[in-house]
Amino acid sequence: MNLISNYSSKIHSQDFESSGLTFQNTAFYSLKIALKGYFSTYQSMKNQLSQHTSNPKNTIKHDETYYEHFLEAIVHFQHFFELIVKDILEKESPLLVVKANLQPVILHKLINEEEIHAEEYNKLYSIEFSEALKTLTELLNKGRIKNPDYLIFKDKKEILLTLNNFRNRIWHRGRFALKYYSLDEFMGKYILPLVLDVVNLNEYINYRNIWKGTLSNKLDIDIINEIIKEFKVSTPDYSKVALLKEIGRIEISPSNLSFKSLDHISTMTTIEESLNMVSDILKCPVCGNKSLLNCYEYESHLEELGDEYSQNFSMFTVEEFIEDRVECFLCKFEVKKFVKNPEEYGYNKEFRFWNI
């Protein structure tokens, strides 16, 4: 049995359908996965970052889950851009995105603009992303593709080649990873601005409901634009980027928890207070409910009293109250004290995390 032919048949497969819209490939689903992966990198590193200042020169141990989210981000951002570039080329001619020379009958049909069935397309190999990008930029350079909107790919070719290089090093050898702060810089300076350039093109703007989260935050900020803006300054604040990513993580993949009434929330708050080391209950900057728990930990250390050579010398243990994290028991937003109060980043001072 030929497994490819078997599972590619209409009995087992179908053409991809995109929420009733006309764009029939997975580009915007890959974009959503990529954003989820990137936004989740703070959550996977929050414990390590809480022991450091937001200085990219600091040595930091990377958690295993960081690598998972890094892979999701790089592989799926590359996939998103590859499908977009090929979509643009295919609108010019399907011959620009496939290696049709090994299938002369199909090639002849394509030349004569005859209908090609899915089974026939399955016999064709798609060109590599680097080849597709080279084709697109050369056609743009020679004025063969007239739409000026596509010039963004000509100007950002190096960014896409770099992303593709990272993806290939991950895909083929599996030994490459960007460090936490470097990933933030690469995303904020290069990838996210290009993402916005693409999704705001007239032909793609209607697909926002596929990749963008349905939840909006109560700080009333656009997460992607805010991250991009932060990397336009000479010294980005990586703790601010961490806050933005955590808000983005919740927005793009909101918790399934639902509460029927404010009384129910009040009841849950009382329960949470009794089960956790909670010093305060605050308003959540994402879901807006008074469900953000200010959680603390005790730290103990030894103190000395008197001169160690005197008879009155003694040592005793001191326990200290330390604010550790805030976490929303409704939407699951959570940051540690590596992140500052939102007001310190210029956001709504109605929302705060820390008392001291």
Q: In which band, very low, low, confident or very high, does the pLDDT at 155 lie, cut at 50, 70 and 90?
A: confident
pLDDT of residue 42: 97
**Residue 314: pLDDT over 90:** no
- In the 3-class helix/strand/coil scheme, how is the chain assigned residue by residue? CCHHHHHHCCCCCCCCCECCECCCCCHHHHHHHHHHHHHCHHHHHHHHHCCCCCCCCCCCCCCHHHHHHHHHHHHHHHHHHHHHHHHHHHHHCHHHCEECCCCHHHHHHHHCCCCCCHHHHCCCEECCHHHHHHHHHHHHHCCCCCCHHHHHHHHCHHHHHHHHHHHHHHHHCCCCCCCHHHHHHHHHHHHHHHHHHHHCCCCCHHHHHHHCCCCCCCCCCCHHHHHHHHCCCCCCCHHHHHHHHHHHHHHHCCCCCCCCCHHHHHHHHHHHHHHCCEEEEECCCCCCCCCEEEEEEEEEEEEEECCCCCCCCEEEEEEEEEEEEEEECCCCCEEECCCCCHHHHCCCCCCCCCCC
Q: What is the pLDDT of residues 116-130, one digit of tens each?
A: 666 655 655 678 999
Q: Poorest-confidence range of 121-125, 172-176, 189-193, 271-275? A: 271-275
**What's the whole-number mean pLDDT along residues 137-156?**
91
Residue 219 has pLDDT above 70, yes or no: yes
Cα first-last separation, the chain: 69
What pLDDT sits at residue 266?
60
pLDDT-based confidence at residue 216 (cuts at 50, 70, 90)? confident
Predicted confidence at residue 305, as pLDDT, reads 59
Query: Residue 312: its pLDDT value, please?
Result: 64
Question: Per-residue pLDDT for 222 more than 90?
Answer: yes
Higher pLDDT, 21 or 334: 334
* Candidate from 199-208, 226-235, 319-328 with smallest mean pLDDT: 319-328
CA atoms lying within 13 Å on the CB side of residue 232: 8
Query: Which pair of tokens denotes residue 181?
Result: 């702060």
Over residues 168-179, mean pLDDT: 92
**Looking at residue 33, what is its pLDDT?**
96
- Is residue 82 very low, low, confident or very high in pLDDT (cuts 50, 70, 90)? very high
Question: Which of 132-136, 265-269, 275-279 is the least confident region?
Answer: 265-269
* Range with lowest mean pLDDT among 63-77, 78-92, 272-286, 333-347: 272-286
What's the whole-number mean pLDDT along residues 52-70? 83
What pLDDT is recorded for position 43? Answer: 96
Residue with the larger pLDDT of the pair 269 and 322 = 322
* The pair of three-digit structure tokens given for residue 252, joined into one six-digit string: 């793009």
Does the pLDDT of residue 134 top 70, yes or no?
yes
Whether the per-residue pLDDT at 22 is higher than 70: the answer is no
Q: Encoding tokens for residue 187?
A: 């995303």
Angle (CA) 244 230 68, round 5°: 50
Cα torsion through 268, 222, 44, 48, rounded to 10: -100
Distance of CA 218 to the CA centre of its chain: 20
Q: What pLDDT is recorded for position 2?
A: 79
Q: What is the mean pLDDT of residues 57-73?
A: 90
C-beta of residue 62 within 8 angstroms of C-beta of residue 56: no
pLDDT of 156: 92
Copy the structure tokens of residue 301. Answer: 């250390």
pLDDT of 176 strictly over 90? yes
7 band by pLDDT with thresholds 50, 70 and 90? confident
Mean per-residue pLDDT, 66-80: 97
232 or 281, which is more confident: 232
Q: For residue 354, which of 50, 137, 135, 19 has the smallest C-alpha distance?
A: 50
Query: With a threshold of 0.75, does the pTM exceed it?
Result: yes
What is the arithmetic mean of pLDDT over 135-143? 93
The residue whose two tokens read 């603390």 is 296
pLDDT value of residue 106:
59
Q: 211 and 199 in contact (C-beta within 8 Å)?
A: yes
